[in-house]
Amino acid sequence: MVDIENFELAPMPRIVYGSGAISDLSAYAKELGVQALLVTGRGSLRRSGRLDEIVDSLQATNFRVTVFEGVEPEPTLSTVERGRQVLRENQCDLVITIGGGSVMDVGKAIAGLANEPGSVAQHHCGRPLSAAALPIIAAPTTSGTGSEVTPVLVLTDPDRGIKASIRDDRLVAKIALLDPELTLTLPPRPTADAGLDAFTQALEAYTSIGANFITDTWALEAIARIGSSLRQAYHQGDDLTARENMSLGSVLAGMALASAGLGLVHGLAHPIGYAYQLPHGQACAILLPYVIKFNIEVSQARYATAARVLGISKNSGDAEAAEALHRWVSELCDELEASASLSELGATEDDFDSIIAAAMKSGSAKHNPRPVTEGNLRELLREML
C-alpha cells in the first residue's frame, strides 16, 4: 500500500443530493428552526415560479418565511448589511439561501454575522468572528463556486475598492441541498462562467500544496465529471445528465478546495475581476491557461494525471500529457467564449502594481505549487497583456 501523509479535512455540511430534492426543503428546515430568512437573487427563481412553490411548501408546514431577494452578482458589503437588518427585524432563526454563488455567499454572510456586534465591513477587514452563527441551508441553482459546502465567502467593498474573502468554520452550511433540476433553466453564459470556475477550482485544488489523499480523489472526480459535461450543459442546457454531472463535479470541487486550498488563478481572479468588472468564472477562465503554463515545470505529473482522467492523453508521457491539458483547457475557454488578453480588457502595465499587491496577500497564491514572487507574477501579467 502507498503511504499516506497526515491530513485534516475542513468541516462539511450534511449533503443531500438528488433531482427533485428541493421538494424536501421544508422537512429539513423544520429540523433547524421556525422562522427563516430566504435569500435569493434578482428574479430568476421568482420568474420560474419556484420561489412561490418553495415559500408555499414551507408555510404549509407552519414555517414562517421572510424573503430577502435581489442579491446582485459579485455582491457588496451593503447587501449583506441590509439582509442582516431584515433578519434581525424578523427575528429569523435560520437562513435558507437559494441561488448562484453570490446568493450562497450573501446568505452565509448574513447567517454567519447575524449575532456579531461589529459591522460587515469590520469582518471583511479581518475582524474574527466571535458569536455563534445561525444555521444555514444552501441550495445552489448553478454548478460553480461550491460555496454550499465551503467555509469561505467572497464580498466586494466598493469604498475600499477590493474584493476579498471571509473564512470561518462557522460559515459552513448545516445542510447543502443539491438538486440538479434547479440548474436546468440556467442560460448558457452563466452556465459557462460557473462551470469554468468549478473546473478551475477542481484543478487548482488538485495541484495545491495543501492537497491530500482525500481531496485528490474528490478533485480528480470533479475534473472528470465537469470535463465530460460542461460543453453539453452549455450547448444543451436541458440535458439533465449533463446538469447532474456538473452539480456533482462542482460540489466535489468545493469539498476539495475547502481543505486543499486553491492556487494562483484564484489569487489573481479577485483583483483582476474587480478591476475589469468580470464575472468570477470568466476571470478564472482567462487566467487558467497562463497559470497552467506558469506551473507546468513543477506540476507536470499532476497536470498529466488530469489529462488522463479527462481521456485526452492516454498513452503519452507526462510532458506531452501536461501540454495536452493546456491545449484542451485553452480550446474549452475559446469554445465557451471566455478567453481574452488583459489589453482587450483595457489593462495596461500601470495596473500591475495594485494587482500584484492584492494577489501576493491572498491565501490562494500561497497555495500555488510554484512559489509566487512579485517578479514572476509581473512576468506572467506581461505575457497576458
Query: Which residue ranges make up the site for Fe ion (CB under 5 A)?
Result: 197
Which residue lies nearer to Fe ion by CB, 54 or 292? 292
Long-range contacts of range 316-325, CB-CB < 8 Å, 24 or more positions apart? 322/292, 322/296, 323/296, 325/292
Least Å distance, CB 348 to Fe ion, is 26
Least distance in angstroms from the C-beta of 363 to Fe ion = 13
Strands 35-39 and 94-99 turn out to be parallel
Specify the residue, 22 or 166, whose C-beta has the smaller distance to Fe ion: 166
Nearer CB in complex with Fe ion: 165/245: 165
At its nearest, how many Å lie between Fe ion and the CB of residue 60?
Answer: 37
| Smallest separation, CB 35 to Fe ion (Å) | 32
Q: Which is nearer to Fe ion, 57 or 259 (CB)?
A: 259
C-alpha grid cell for residue 177? 441541498
Contacts of 31 (CB under 8 A, 6+ apart): none
All three cell numbers of 31, joined, read 429540523
- Burial class from Cβ neighbours inside 10 Å (0-12, 13-18, 19+) for residue 382 reads exposed
Closest CB to Fe ion: residue number: 197
Least distance between Fe ion and beta carbon 201 (Å): 5
* Nearest residue (CB) to Fe ion, 37 versus 257: 257
Considering beta carbons, is residue 197 or 221 the nearer one to Fe ion? Answer: 197
User: Min. distance of Cβ 193 from Fe ion in angstroms?
Assistant: 10
